[in-house]
Chains A and B, each alone.
Chain A
């Protein structure tokens, strides 16, 4: 703890490591060995990707760096000087910046206010001076290659813009080592491209970026070096030029993974879902779904491609009964369910994997067994006895044990709360519960968002298996590749309408992508 190296005049040569982490080990009280003697070094002007499955220990390692977790063993050196990082304030003082997956911004404050928060420039009498900060923010943004209006309120910005404000916030605090925790998980493809531009500018400015991800294509595109972590250990380090997606996936998962699902042939049967002229409003009262017709047959996967926010969410919410349509009809197996309750739809064999698993799909404070029967809690065998309202814990528990095994959920016991699981395992809980055997229609909204390749492969296989068992599947995804890989038929949604429809063999990436972006108006 000799001096603050944040303003050191002597810059080390570019191949010298700015940051060295040596033998970092962390065991949590629950017994999980999250980091097992991890070594990591990051050079000046380098984008270093940290690749690994959910729960591999990437976030723990970065939390050690940021002073949020105290390691059991190991040391950290910055500019070859050994440092102790006790809390985030220490980390910031040493030039480490962190952009969390969930943004730490105050929605009602302006961009400038958010950026200076905690480092306000104060005039005499304790009056906040934003003028100087505003100038600096404009300058920094320009340097990083994007536009920002320091006076605008953060809650009026898009997710991508908010993320850039987070980066700006870190750079404003003189961060030289910037950690981004799965920055692209919440972004559209365009926003991802933009953020990559910003990261490249940062690299040119001599900053170092640690990029946490489990998306192979992105890592190969942006990183200078890739370090792969599996179950708390470093299992390999590669340069993008000397590796490929298959090798990285294998390193990450520990076995060969098929990145492209073998869909096989579909054998569509009778029509199951029939949607006609459906119109649905969003929360603000705008018409988000503006006259959609679509149909899904038994044993068929219909994918809906589209940039997020073109009415897909409102469409699926109307299908499952969470949102009341203002016009149109929804028929399932010949029965009109337009105004039916969620409960009745479930009884008719509809299941739903929501896009936001933590908001809709799970009760995080509940045990796994309660979550695994959440949508069937009042049915036999989960309830019975007096007036049919007495819960049968033996069945609830047996169901959990079976599904946890069948869907390979990594959890200590059915009694742990869902909130303790990693994102991938949480999603498996939702999927395990919804993929019942007596289904007619399965509605999937972003079923693999935020998941690692191993979990994605597993869920995709399950989707295909349900299709082959004669279930009608409607898949909504912002990941165009996912839609193209899985769907037997691809629809494109643009501004609340279906603007295109392709059989799988005619759905080329470019064609669909263009339609997603333009709605086909110019074509």
Chain B
């Protein structure tokens, strides 16, 4: 009983700031909605936030379809969030999920369309695997560069994001362009698509994403590899002293992170998009950073954070239809959540959170990345 209370208190200590940051973000966004209502056709309406948030909730969870939409939107965010979160555990800031997502999606589209006529049990796993491997390879590059030369992963992954977009545009135009379409795109994935489990669009990728949450959790908490990753993130000097090889762990972590980003792209491709064409959105890559921060890099936390962000995406259209509050309000809320996470002192003051401060080490990784890269493993 006492133990249970202890565990509950620990969990609350970890989750309180993210949860309260969400509450505060909604409150501030409500002010924005009220103020902006005065300048629109609806006219000044102090109760507009209530109806808007109610429609948002209804759109996201009010129907079977809504829940399915939420989960479908959450699936790539779960995997992308895990990719960023895993990097944070090793003291690395992988901003390259956008690029890894694209190469994963592309590889899955190419292999999927090549095997479009084969049974699903052949095409789907192979296409997913192709996406995973492509993402891993794309994550290995910055990992290798950091391990070998000390090149900071923030710089290299940002550049590789652009490299991915341009490289894949070229590839779709000149290498794998499917005949018979008026614009460059890959062929149909046919049987390689992820089977729909329920309703219109609830595909198998969601199950895969949730399974991956537990796999990553197991890796981090239960295995020596996870222990190495966390030790390198917490204290690379002690890691070296303990006989670990921070250089190797850094490259490995970036590769695994890229793999998760690649799978995110693959399931989005095989479950939702269906073919690769220049200009497909990689916003998942950047939302993943927010998801990982909100989830405090904890796999379970990331699961919930991704579902929340998925719910935003799934519920926003209904909010816009029913209350004329624009979808962009969601971006405001997401931005505010991250702002309050970073400036957690505000949250503490507003809600009078007591107790010792739990340092958000992920944010340290982020800020140090921008301040010239003191964090992470030293290359020597």
With most chain B CB atoms within 10 A of its CB, the pick from A320, A354, A360 is A360
CB contacts (< 8 Å) of B222 on chain A: these are 390-391
A459 to chain B, nearest CB (A): 19
In the bound complex, CA of A210 to CA of B220 (Å): 47
Q: Report Cα–Cα, A346/B231, bound state, in Å.
A: 18
A499 contacts the other chain (CB 8 A): no
List the A side residues contacting B240 at CB < 8 Å. 322, 342, 360
Q: Which residues of B contact A352 (CB under 8 A)?
A: 241
Whether the pair B241, A360 counts as a contact (CB closer than 8 A) is: yes
Instruction: Tell me whether B224 and A383 are in contact (CB under 8 A).
Output: yes
The answer to whether A360 and B224 touch (CB under 8 A), given A342-B243, A346-B243, A375-B243, is no
Q: Give the distance to chain B from A441, nearest Cβ to Cβ, in Å.
A: 15
Does B225 contact A374, Cβ atoms closer than 8 Å? no
Is the Cβ of A320 less than 8 Å from the Cβ of B241? yes
Per-position binary interface string of chain B over residues 234-245, scored 1 when its CB falls under 8 Å from any chain A CB and 0 otherwise: 110110111111
Give complex CA distance A388, B237 in Å: 25
* Chain A contacts with B in 349-372, Cβ cutoff 8 A: 352, 354, 359-366, 370
A326 within 8 A of B: no
Interface status of A343 (Cβ within 8 A of chain B): yes
- Assess whether A366 is in contact with B224, with CB atoms less than 8 Å apart: no
- Note all chain B residues with C-beta closer than 8 A to A366: 231, 234
Q: How far is the CB of B242 from chain A (nearest CB, A)?
A: 5
Q: Which residue of B lies closest to A357 (CB)?
A: B238
* Interface assignment of B223: CB less than 8 Å from any CB of chain A: yes
> Are B242 and A374 in contact, with the CB atoms below 8 A?
yes
In the complex where A363-B231, A363-B235 touch, is A389 in contact with B241 (Cβ < 8 A)?
Answer: no
Size band of the B side of the interface?
10 to 19
Inter-chain contact B243/A364, CB cutoff 8 Å: no
Smallest Cβ distance from A434 to chain B, in angstroms?
10
Q: Is B241 touching A322 in the complex (CB atoms < 8 A)? A: yes
Bound-state CA distance A374–B241 (Å) is 9
A308 within 8 A of B: no
User: Given the complex of chains A and B, what is the CA–CA distance between A397 and B336 in angstroms?
Assistant: 42
Shortest distance between the CB of B279 and any CB in chain A (Å):
42
- Tell me if A361 and B225 are in contact (CB < 8 A): no
| Distance from A204 Cβ to chain B, minimum over Cβ atoms (Å) | 43
Question: For residue A343, which residues in chain B have a CB less than 8 angstroms away from its CB?
Answer: 243-244
Cβ contacts under 8 Å, B61 to chain A: none
**A378 interfacial by beta-carbon distance below 8 Å:** yes
Establish whether residues B223 and A365, one from each chain, have CB atoms under 8 Å apart when the complex forms. no
B238 interface neighbour in A346, A359, A378, A383, Cβ under 8 Å: A359
Does B286 lie at the interface of the complex (its beta carbon under 8 Å from any beta carbon of A)?
A: no
Shortest A418–chain B CB gap in Å is 10
**Interface SS of B by simple majority:** helix
Is A341 interfacial (CB-CB < 8 Å)? yes
Minimum CB–CB distance for B12 against chain A, Å = 16
Whether B227 sits at the interface, judged by CB under 8 Å, is: yes
Beta-carbon contact of A363 and B224 below 8 Å: no
Which residues from A are CB-within-8-Å of B227?
A: 370, 377, 391
Given contacts A342-B243, A374-B231, A375-B243, contact A362 B238 (CB under 8 A): yes
A363 to B230, alpha carbons, bound, how many Å? 10
**A359 proximity list for chain B (CB < 8 A):** 235, 237-238
Nearest-Cβ distance from residue A144 to partner chain B, whole angstroms: 35
Contact call B241/A342, Cβ cutoff below 8 A: yes
Q: Please, what's the 1-or-0 string for A372-414, where 1 marks a CB less than 8 Å from any CB in chain B? A: 0011011000010000111100000000000000000000000
For A342, list chain B residues within 8 Å (CB): 240-243
> In the assembled complex, which residues on chain B have CB atoms less than 8 Å from the CB atom of A320?
241
Quick check: B224 and A377 within 8 Å, CB to CB?
yes
Residues B207-248 near A (CB distance < 8 A) = 222-225, 227-228, 231, 234-235, 237-238, 240-245
In the bound assembly, the distance between CA atoms of A370 and B228 in angstroms comes to: 11
Q: Which of A322, A388, A389 has the most CB of B within 10 A?
A: A389
Cβ–Cβ < 8 Å partners of B234 in chain A: 363-366
Q: Which residue of B lies closest to A283 (CB)?
A: B380
Interface string of A15-31 (1 = CB under 8 A from B): 00000000000000000
Q: Within the complex, which residue of A341, A346, A375, A389 is in contact with B224, where a contact is CB–CB below 8 Å?
A: A389
Give CA–CA (A57, B347) in the complex, Å: 33
Contact assessment for B238 and A360 in the assembled complex, using a CB-CB cutoff below 8 Å: yes
Contacting residues, chain A, for B225 (C-beta < 8 A): 389
A346 to B235, CA, bound (A): 19
Task: Return chain B residues, CB-CB under 8 Å to A377.
Answer: 224, 227-228, 242
- Bound CA–CA A151/B294 (angstroms): 46
User: In the assembly, what is the distance between CA of A322 and CA of B244, in Å?
Assistant: 11
Nearest chain B residue, comparing its CB with the CB of A323: B380
Tell me the nearest residue of chain B to A354, going by C-beta. Answer: B241
Whole-angstrom distance between the alpha carbons of A359 and B240 in the complex? Answer: 11
Per the bound structure, the CA–CA distance linking A346 and B244 in Å amounts to 11
Please judge, given known A-B contacts A342-B243, A352-B241, A377-B242, whether A364 and B224 are in contact too, CB under 8 Å.
no
Residue of A nearest to B243 (CB): A343
A362 to B241, CA, bound (A): 9
- Is B243 within 8 A of A341, CB to CB? yes
Shortest distance in angstroms between A446's beta carbon and chain B's nearest beta carbon? 15
Q: Which residues of B are found within 8 Å of A370, using beta-carbon distances?
A: 227
Residues B241 and A361 in contact, CB atoms below 8 Å apart:
yes
Among candidates B224, B244, B245, residue contacting A391 with C-beta atoms closer than 8 Å: B224
Closest residue on chain B to residue A383 by CB atoms: B224
Among residues of B, the one whose C-beta sits closest to the C-beta of A343 is B243
Please give the distance in Å from A28's CB to the nearest CB on chain B: 11
Contact (A389, B223) CB under 8 Å given A343-B243, A374-B231, A375-B243: yes
Q: How far is the CA of A341 from the CA of B244 in the complex (A)?
A: 9
| CA distance in complex: A361, B254 (Å) | 26
* A390-B223 contact given A341-B243, A343-B243, CB 8 Å threshold: yes
Distance to closest chain A CB from B21 (angstroms): 22
Task: Report the minimal beta-carbon distance from B363 to chain A, rounded to whole angstroms.
Answer: 15
Most buried by B among A322, A342, A354, A370: A342
B248 vs chain A, min Cβ distance (A)? 11
For A375, give its contact among B223, B237, B241, B361 (CB under 8 Å). Answer: B241
Contact call B238/A374, Cβ cutoff below 8 A: yes
| 167-193 of chain B: CB within 8 A of chain A | none
Which residues of chain A come closer than 8 Å to B241, judged between CB atoms?
A: 320, 322, 342, 352, 354, 360-361, 375
What B residues does A354 contact at CB under 8 A?
A: 241
**Closest CB in chain A relative to B3 CB, distance in Å:** 11
A-B contact pairs, 30 of them (CB 8 A): A322-B241, A341-B243, A342-B242, A343-B243, A343-B244, A346-B243, A354-B241, A359-B235, A359-B238, A360-B237, A360-B238, A360-B240, A361-B241, A363-B238, A364-B234, A365-B361, A370-B227, A374-B231, A374-B238, A374-B242, A375-B241, A375-B242, A383-B224, A388-B224, A389-B224, A389-B225, A390-B222, A390-B223, A390-B224, A391-B222
Known: A359-B235, A360-B238. 7 other contacts (CB 8 A): A342-B240, A342-B243, A343-B244, A361-B241, A363-B234, A363-B238, A391-B227
